[in-house]
Amino acid sequence: MRLLGAGIAMGLGALGPGIGIGILGYGAMQALGRNPEARGPILTNMMIAIAFTEAIAIYALIVAIILAIL
């Protein structure tokens, strides 16, 4: 049961950040297409925002690892 919980935790926990990172990429591509000169700041800010959303998926991964191992 614990292992099932670990699998469900990681699986459901990766839905939100996946969609979120996709939306971020969409916005960054649009901004890059409108203004190719501002490539540096756009990419830097995109990486920062992606790190924020990816952290949520990492929290789910920690819960899954703790359920499966400890």
Judged by beta carbon, residue 22 or residue 41, the one nearer other proteins is 41
Judged by beta carbon, residue 29 or residue 62, the one nearer other proteins is 62
Could you say whether residue 62 binds other proteins (CB under 8 A)? yes
Q: Helices 15-34 and 2-13, interaxial angle, to 10°?
A: 20
- Whole-number minimum distance, CB 39 to other proteins, in Å? 14
CA atoms within 13 A on the CB side of 19: 4
CA distance 36 to 30: 10
Residues at the contact surface with other proteins, assessed by CB under 8 A: 44, 47-48, 51, 54-55, 58-59, 61-62, 65-66, 69-70
